[in-house]
Amino acid sequence: MSTTPREMSVFARCEEIQFSFGNVTALDSVSLELRSGEISAVVGPNGAGKTTLIDVLSGRLHLQAGKIFIRGSHIVLHSSYGAALEGISRTFQEPRVVRLMTTLDNVLLARPRQSGERFWNAIFGMHVSGEERENRTIALRWLHFVGLDKFANVAAGQLSYGQRKLLALGCCLATDARLLLLDEPTTGVHPEMAGEIMRILGTVKEQGKAVLIVEHDFNVVRRIADHVIVLDHGRLVASGSPQVLDTATVKKCFVR
Amino acid sequence: MDYLFGIILTAVLFASVCQSTDILVGQTGLLSTMAAAFMSIGAYATGIATARLGLPSVYGMILGACLCGTLGSVAALGYSKTERDMFLVATFALQLALTGVSFNLSAVTNGAEGITGIAPIAIQSPAISKFVLFMAAISLLFVSSIIYRNIVRSPLGRVLHAIREDELLAQTLGKNVPFSKLYVLSSSACVCGAAGSLYANYLGYIDPTCFTLNESVMILSMIIIGGAGSSWGPVVGAAILICFPEALRTVGVSGPAAASIRQILYGTGLIACVVFFPRGIAGVSRKFNLRALSTPPNS
């Protein structure tokens, strides 16, 4: 049996994943596929399980049933650290950055597999300076990519809300992750900056990364998403192209 | 002269303990009240090695530092999931447990009587012994300063800052948080163990009351007063809190009331420091420097 290019590009596949907070079912047998070079958007009313889906895929919450496959291999995500090793990175609804560190240091922190993070290398400075120079160059490139290169030496805590969202996205990209899970990337930011974030996501998609966004704004979803997943009460109600948002089933979820 | 030597040596030893503990407290945001417990392990290892087994002091110091490093690693693994408040409580528990062990494990520690007759570090003469002891203490402070400086300036230092501010973010960015905590906890424990060993050498005896929760809290106070998260702040804090009570002796406070007055002054000083200078002496100096920098030269 031959595989089509679309099947080959599947980065992550969830099979009937389930998660409950006590008696409240947040994810009820949800199955979905996330493809490289594609932006998938999760939409749904409040409490639909959108953020729980990101939490489960990023290893923050432990799956209670179902399976997750990354590049075709079944994996068990024990922690956010484990997910990062599998090439999964995420941002949070409220942008999380290390406020007392500079913008550049935040991106440098995100660089993967740094030998200077090991004790003896840190003490004796082995293999560190060359690698640090290289990482600094890459970090500055990512800062330029998200438009924050002018703020490289500014403490992250002094950035505006929107700039912190951009920085969190920059950090996420600097991890070299293949799957980005972005929780409401454009919510609460100036429309101009939201446009900038959408442009960045378009470029990221072209770089072949798989992107999953949680989004409330249908206009944003229509503009950038290739695939839409609609959740309601933890169940997958519909999925497909952005046109799915105009179907009666989906509209019913939002009018209650 | 002996008195002055004792004060300076104690201040130097506590300075290295404070500096190594500040990697946990100031850099990683983990308040630890078990530094004295690690000092006691180093001290007991030296006591047992020299007074019981007849080995040279240096073996006791190496044994103590290794034991502390191992226990520090075990504690780090056990505490890997604890954050902030819970870590503080866990270190508090370890300190109390080790004090309890040193009181009750009489076969090894000789219980409340403690271990006497700890051989001096150099047996040729008391003067040489003092000199060697002082040089060893200075070397330990140097080593702890190098460890502190290099960790803070390295990528590991960035990870520790991230853990201090947002542990979940550090994990999400693929940082190995439990291992980073293990590195700093075990290195800090090693330095504390070595300092405890040298302190036992100086005292010549060791009993369970030498390193109790009081000493651990005092070490934490030294760090906070000096300025957590600064390379020299904890050293200054240690010097002040070791020398300040001694200075009180010279201003006519003596007799049974002296200890109480000292405790009151100590407590008041600590409260004042936390209220008025929450970033300690290092924080005040940093603010002063920033002000000087931001003032135009011709104003």
CB A214 within 8 A of CB A183: yes
Residue-wise pLDDT for A58-109, tens only, equals 999 999 999 999 998 999 998 999 999 999 999 999 999 999 999 999 999 9
- Both tokens of A120, joined, read 């003896």
pLDDT of amino acid A1: 44
pLDDT greater than 60 at residue A6: no
State the pLDDT confidence band at B289, using cuts at 50, 70 and 90. Answer: low
CB B115 within 8 A of CB B206: yes
pLDDT of amino acid B125: 78
Name A67's bridge partners.
Answer: A15
Residue-wise pLDDT for B23-70, tens only, equals 999 999 999 899 999 999 999 999 999 888 888 888 888 888 888 888
> Would you list which residues of chain B are within 8 Å, Cβ to Cβ, of chain A?
146-147, 150-151, 154-159, 161-162, 165-166, 168-177, 180, 183, 187
**3-class SS of residue B155:** helix
A7 in contact with B, Cβ within 8 Å: no
pLDDT greater than 50 at residue B233: yes
CATH class as words, domain A5-97+177-254: alpha beta
Enter the DSSP assignment of B230.
-
Select from B173, B182, B184 the residue whose CB has the most chain A CBs within 10 Å, as the one to mutate to test that interface: B173
More confident residue, B293 or A234: A234
pLDDT of amino acid A237: 87
- Which positions 204-223 of A are in contact with B (Cβ < 8 Å)? none
Q: Do B175 and A171 touch (CB under 8 A)?
A: no
* Alpha-carbon span A107 to B156, nearest angstrom: 14
Q: Per 3-state DSSP, what percentage of chain B is helix, strand, and coil (rounded to 5)?
A: 80, 0, 20
Domain boundaries, chain A: 5-97+177-254, 100-158
Q: Which of A238-247, B105-114, B195-204 has the lowest mean pLDDT?
A: A238-247
Compare all CA atoms of chain B with the CA of A132 and give the residue at the minimum distance. B155
Domain boundaries, chain B: 2-212
Q: Between vectors from CA A142 to CA A139 and to CA A146, what angle results, nearest 5°?
A: 140
Residue-wise pLDDT for B181-207, tens only, equals 999 999 999 999 999 999 999 998 899
pLDDT greater than 60 at residue B162: yes
Compare all CA atoms of chain B with the CA of A109 and give the residue at the minimum distance. B158
Averaged pLDDT, A121-135: 86
A89 in contact with B, Cβ within 8 Å: yes
The distance of B161 to chain A (nearest Cα, Å) reads 8
- Residue that has been written with the tokens 């959108």 in this structure: A50
Residue-wise pLDDT for A47-64, tens only, equals 889 999 999 999 999 999
Give the containing element (helix H, strand E) for A67.
strand A65-70
- Residue that has been written with the tokens 């500040």 in this structure: B22
Residues in chain A: 256
CB B23 within 8 A of CB B233: no
Q: Which residues of B touch A101 (CB under 8 A)?
A: 158, 161-162, 165
Residue-wise pLDDT for B65-78, tens only, equals 888 888 888 888 88
Enter the DSSP assignment of B58.
H
Select from A51, A89, A98, A180 the residue whose CB has the most chain B CBs within 10 Å, as the one to mutate to test that interface: A98
Of the candidates A80, A125, A132, the beta carbon closest to that of B172 is on: A80
- Both tokens of B24, joined, read 């946990």
Half-sphere exposure of B172 (CA within 13 A, CB side): 30
The distance of A167 to chain B (nearest Cα, Å) reads 13
Compare all CA atoms of chain A with the CA of B163 and give the residue at the minimum distance. A98
Averaged pLDDT, B166-181: 93
The answer for A113, left when phi > 0, alpha when psi is -120 to 50, beta otherwise, is left
Give the containing element (helix H, strand E) for B165.
helix B155-165
pLDDT of amino acid B44: 92
Q: Please, what's the b/e burial string for A2-40 (b: 16 or more CB within 10 A of its CB; e: otherwise)?
A: eeeeeeebbbbbbeebbbeeeeebbbbebebbbbbebbb
Q: Do A89 and B166 touch (CB under 8 A)?
A: no
Averaged pLDDT, B152-161: 94
Residue-wise pLDDT for B251-284, tens only, equals 666 666 766 776 787 778 778 877 888 788 887 7
pLDDT greater than 60 at residue A8: no
Averaged pLDDT, A207-219: 90
pLDDT of amino acid B294: 46
pLDDT of amino acid B23: 94
- Please report, for residues A26, A201, A240, A246, B16, the alpha-carbon distance to residue A243 in angstroms, rounded to integers and kept in the order given: 25, 20, 8, 6, 66
A186 in contact with B, Cβ within 8 Å: no
Q: Do B158 and A90 touch (CB under 8 A)?
A: no
* Alpha-carbon span B144 to A242, nearest angstrom: 59
Q: Which of A144-153, B119-128, B155-164 has the lowest mean pLDDT?
A: B119-128
- Both tokens of A229, joined, read 């997943």
